[in-house]
Chains A and B, each alone.
Chain A
Amino acid sequence: MPRDPFKGCDDLRRTLALTRRQVVVGGLSIYAAGTLLPTRLLEAAAAQAPTDAPVLVSVFLPGGCDLLSTLTPLDQAGRLADLRRSLSTDAPPALAGESRLGLHPSLSEGLGGGVRGLFDAGKVGFLPGIDYANPDLSHFHSRHFWETGLITERSAPGWLGRWLDRHGSDNPLQGLSLGGLSPLLRTGAAPVAAVDDPGDAQLSFGGTWGVGEDLVRAAWNRLADETGGTRPGPAAAARAARVARDIGARLAPYAREDNKDADPLNNPVAQLRAPAA
């Protein structure tokens, strides 16, 4: 029997008596790599979620920034300046209500005081000091541990994927990854989606049309259902085919007709400014 898509969130809230504020992971999680989130994808994702289900957006910036100069431990700022002489020697200003941590000045720039402004407004939080015992300084180990939430060198589903395995549904859009599947979202069994363009997520079969295309689509769906088996390779191929089919069906309302829709990425700056005007 199919589960209620977002029952997991309710289960978690009820059993652990967590408030919504404390539940960081919601019914939907979106991962984007190297791409601006198309507004239509957000629309599509939001439409899949009940109105009160939280959405977690995870943006991973590979090699993004250096923790110690981003969020500086002020009680060790002098030692940091000694060790990294090429960096600015001025200790950054402390975060409001948090005297031990300073935020890099460039993160106070921009609209509304930048990241610091968002922090002051209670819209940004930091998780400093994430670490593991006896670090070997390997980039790949650190990243793998962060992606899986496990201190293991073995291949494992991501922490977000494991959450979906326990609390998710059969809706692949519960975990939506943009631009390749995020390792965070790798699951054991729960379906998750890797989509590059929600307007083009449906399966089409070139060179066929009308009844001819309908029959081909039905055959492709059967291939997804009737191939596979228990060995990892064939099972993965059939599973990916089924998920691709299901995503196409769920995103069908967002299918783009050529030359009719405005490019969602067109002039994003104007879109950002619009609400303020």
Chain B
Amino acid sequence: MPWSETHVRRLFWRAGFGATPTEAARWAQAGQDATIKHLLNGPRAMNGPAPMRLDPLNEWSHRTLWWLDRMVRTQRPLEEKLTLFWHDHFATAGQDTPLMLAQNKMLRARALGSFRKLLGGVMRDPAMQLFLSLADSTKDAPNENFARELMELFTLGGGYTERDIREAARALTGFDSDWGKSGLQRIRFDPKQHDAGVKRIFGKRGRFGPDAVLDLVVAHPRHATFLTRKLWDFFVTEAPDRATQRALVRTYKQSGHRIAPVVERILRHPALYADLDAPAMVKCPLVYVAGTLRTAGAGVTVDDHAWLLELMGQMPFDPPSVAGWDWGPAWLTSQTLHAGVRWANAMVSWTDQPPLEVPDGAGDPTLTPEQQVERALDGLGRPWISDATRRVLTDLAARYFADLVKPWQQGKPKQERADMLQRALRHLLISGPDAHLH
């Protein structure tokens, strides 16, 4: 497969949060194989501009900024991206921040390993236990919430009956929540509250307990297709052909239900690199914001990201329901674009030192329109733009000084306008329609 900086940029956007020019050059040189190995096994480190002081446990919205900072600086962007995938897949909301941060850590640690192990972590995760009422579901009053979403949203999507759900809910009973002054102390399993009787799930009979239910859903014939398809759709816009779908299922099963081999196969697939000059996948707001900062070499230095992400429709740790967010073109409402314009304002002009600052005097009125556009692209880490956008921006630069014709307008007014032009071009590059695609 041919391999160029454009390929690296596509891969880093889809598998992470974009590539800086340095990363694009380095990994284009290294080749596809080395690049994908790096994404899968790179060093666990944070690198890049330091964030503002963050106190995710105590300051409102700082948990959002804390995760955003990880997305901007992590040297394992694929792991962070998969953590976001699992947060959407195992969507949990309305729980205390310490519990949500603990869940986030667990999802990250298990993001690319065995799905069964991840599922076990999710089942015992305190935030999930409380969210889907698995905690304190007892043999006398089994709660079906977790059993239902386990099959419908987490593992199968179909191919089970109401009776399977009821019987699984019985098998999942016995988790107790212990509460103290500062909130939930722990989740523990109390055999006295567990229904130890015989259950019948997917046509099999046995004295199934919680872990046996997870074994059963992962072994269900619908599971491998369901999960590999959802992973594929996270990275690629076009549907997989039948051979690809079969290969993904085979890889998943033969690896013992491991996530990394499936993801690796997707990252190597030519479909991920389709239409390199005209990307069609919609960025979710977190990827839009984190990726713009990361590729431009900027850090999380202002707190406006948090409320603007909420306006764009994606507050991490607070998905709209257990089904997660609606992905794809559904992200792009007029409100998202409008919030993008406001966010771009924050990036180029709000506060004394905006993240993408163009200081007074930094513009150059002597550049050609084409050079002005190139300079703005350089300032942002060279994001992709369509031919149409390049045309509009070049026209803007060409007309930007047209009204400044008087001799007294040639000095300071022209310099001010040149500064303004660089802010404007950067603004349009991160707020325009192209910026929402990767």
Contact = CB atoms under 8 A, between A and B. Distances in A.
Nearest to B344: A206
B433 A216 contact: no
Given A226-B388, A231-B280, A233-B437, A194 B348 contact: no
Contacts of B140: none
Contacts of B14: none
A106 B188 CA distance: 38
A152 B54 CA distance: 45
Interface in B302-333: 311, 313, 321, 323, 328-330, 332-333
A196 B311 contact: yes
A201 B342 CA distance: 10
Interface stretch (A5-13, A110-118, A217-225): A217-225
Interface string B224-253: 000000000000010000000000000000
Nearest to B275: A231
B417 to A, nearest CB: 6
Interface residues of B, number: 60
A201 B437 contact: no
Contacts of B386: 227
B427 A194 contact: no
Interface in B52-96: none
Given A206-B346, A212-B400, A227-B388, A232 B433 contact: no
A238 B321 CA distance: 28
B424 interface: yes
B279 to A, nearest CB: 8
B276 interface: no
Given A215-B400, A219-B395, A237-B437, A181 B335 contact: yes
Contact of B392 (A138, A140, A226, A244): A226
Given A222-B392, A226-B391, A233-B329, A240 B424 contact: no
Interface in B336-387: 336-339, 341-342, 344-346, 348-350, 354, 358, 386
B341 A204 contact: yes
B433 A208 contact: no
Contact of A219 (B323, B334, B393): B393
A180 B328 contact: no
Contact of A216 (B280, B334, B342, B424): B424
Contacts of A233: 237, 279-282, 328-329, 332, 437
A234 B152 CA distance: 31
Contact of B334 (A136, A193, A209): A193
Chain A interface size, as a band, is 35 or more
B399 interface: yes
A219 B385 CA distance: 15
A223 B341 contact: no
B345 A207 contact: yes
B97 interface: no
B332 to A, nearest CB: 4
Contacts of A216: 396, 424, 427-428
Contacts of B328: 232-233
A241 B432 contact: yes
A236 B436 CA distance: 10
A200 B237 CA distance: 34
B420 interface: yes
A151 to B, nearest CB: 15
A248 B334 CA distance: 10
A146 B343 CA distance: 34
B36 to A, nearest CB: 24
B337 to A, nearest CB: 4
A132 interface: no
A140 B280 CA distance: 28
Given A180-B335, A207-B348, A224-B433, A232 B424 contact: no
A206 B332 contact: no
A207 B349 contact: yes
Contacts of A243: 334, 337
A211 interface: yes
A200 B339 CA distance: 10
B162 interface: yes
Interface string B396-418: 10011001000000000000010
B350 A206 contact: yes
B338 A244 contact: yes
A79 to B, nearest CB: 20
A235 B434 CA distance: 10
Contacts of A30: none
B173 interface: no
B408 to A, nearest CB: 16
A137 interface: yes
A-B complex: 8 closest residue pairs judged by Cβ atoms: A206-B345, A206-B349, A207-B349, A236-B329, A194-B335, A207-B423, A237-B433, A243-B334
23 contacts: A140-B321, A172-B334, A194-B335, A200-B342, A203-B338, A204-B345, A206-B423, A207-B354, A212-B424, A216-B428, A219-B392, A219-B393, A219-B428, A222-B392, A223-B388, A224-B433, A232-B280, A232-B329, A233-B328, A233-B332, A234-B280, A234-B433, A240-B332
Given A219-B395, A244-B335, 12 more contacts: A62-B321, A181-B333, A205-B427, A209-B420, A215-B400, A222-B392, A223-B392, A223-B434, A232-B329, A233-B237, A236-B332, A244-B337
Interface of B: 148, 152-153, 162, 165, 237, 278-282, 311, 313, 321, 323, 328-330, 332-339, 341-342, 344-346, 348-350, 354, 358, 386, 388-389, 391-393, 395-396, 399-400, 403, 417, 420-421, 423-424, 427-428, 431-434, 436-437
